[in-house]
Structure 1
Amino acid sequence: MDALSELGWQHVYSGKVRDLYEHADHPALLLVVASDRVSAFDHVLEPGIPGKGALLTQLTRWWFARLPMPNHLATVADLPAAAELAEVPVEVADRAMLVKRLDMHPIECVVRGYLTGSGWAEYRESGTVCGIALPEGLSDGDRLPEPLYTPAFKAPMGEHDENISFERSVELVGVEVATALRDASLAIFATASEIALERGVVLADTKFEFGTDPATGALTLGDEVLTSDSSRYWDAELYAAGGPSRLDSFDKQIVRNWLAANWDRTGEPPALPPEIVERTAARYRELIDRLCG
């Protein structure tokens, strides 16, 4: 973006949803800008979901303020330069976060509180989730006896993340860090689940990313947290009532369902119809209203 480059921000990386910028004069700080892009089945789709980037950023900030865990948001107390760089162009202000640069760990920390999605598919085949044996007789959407920590190795850009065992995560980052990642993930999930349920929402599963703050050595939450893109939320009342809509999630599942019915996964995916875009945007907005009031 020209407006960002005029302020000294240089683009260094783009993921499926977020763009990352660094400042030559302030190497300890980064600018994370969430876009309206939406992806499914490893493809970025057209068009995007209007307002999505702002909603993801708002929700991340809301959760950061409520979790008993250091996060990567930059403050003047941490870095005086944060005051100088806090003003970003109005075009991105509602979807940008000024953050501390962390030494990120290559582990995606997934926590599953309920049996669904890819976990349900694996369970039907083998009775396991990420290789962890579960009791017989469970159904799609059932609450698990206890939340499962199922880490993944973050693959290089363009490649698939790989589900790994806890033992493999120890090999990658060492037993102390691997244990800290697991314990922090499960603790945050427990806290967030209680907060969500108080607002009539079930947190089914989520994923976290952590790094080490080079200034303090503390394990620190990075990236987004507990958003519609990184988590699966259900309406608690509908879930308790049962029925076909109990697992309708507040995210892009509408997009996935439409794409699965209208694309054979060869070539480029088709453009999303306006109705699908608006219905998806409405689900993102509804979750914000439920959680943030």
Structure 2
Amino acid sequence: TIVFLGFFGYNHLKSMIYKENQVNIILYPQEKEHFDSSLNRLKRETYFEIKNPDRTKISGISFNETEKIENISDLISRLFEQDDKAKINPDYSDVNCSNIVKEITFENDPDILELDENKTVLLRINQKERFEKVKNLTIGDKIRVYDNSSKEELFQVALEYDTDGEFKRIEEFSRLWKNELNNYFKEFSSLTEFHKLLVENGLSITNEFTLRNWTNVNSQIKFPQNKKDLSVLKKSINSDMLNENFNDILKYRLGFNRIMKSLGRRFSSEISDYIQNKKKGKLLMRFSEKQIQQFVDRNAKERIIKTIKVIDNEQ
């Protein structure tokens, strides 16, 4: 038996995993978080290594798995039940982000993308599309990179699957903080004056247009992206209604963000599967062929790589 009185990183974990000895490790809470993160990384790396087609060619042994697809209503409930410090389940996430980023430009397209070299994209070869890591791409490749710009459609799908009414409460608390912000706004002569005061109080947004959207209870923005901005609004407005419901506002902001990120990953996976195999997953079943093609054209359009530039993003 070997006992470690601390954790020294990813390579330390690998050395422990592959020893024949029984290993015990004593961790502080901060070390436990680092350990769990390293263990998840090792699991993901191992999973994708086993699925690697080159391994199948060399060994002659294929890797078959039973796909576990979580019901969307269960997903919504699970993410709301997690405590505030819980990490989002990395479903459909990329494996092992590195410090190497590739800057990619495209022919006849002004977009410039900065992608981690281990991110997977769809690559077209001989009229077929397959997944490929960014680090293996070359100039002239035809690729699709998914961009989650269908948030409103995802929100409507989530509403349909929301059997426990969590999204109704999201709407309730989203409107609550906006209404309180609107009531406070009435005390000012202009949006510019209002914005200036909030910035002086610590608000992070520099664009008045964002603040105007916040004052619109029907806008697609449900909550500020920055949690600190909500605290600034609470302190500035200082209304009984906002103060009494602030913890619930934070709770449903967090739940909303978790759900939309997870659904975004699932939507990305289904879009990729549709492009490759013309199969509809549970989310895409809600949309017509025409709507799905619009998603593909908007969120995963095919482009030809013009230049690739390596960026060291370690600092």
TM over 0.5: no
> Which is bigger in relative contact order (C-alpha 8 A, separation at least 6)?
2
Higher-helix-fraction structure: 2
Scaled by the length of structure 1, the TM-score of the pair is 0.24
TM-score normalised per structure 2: 0.22
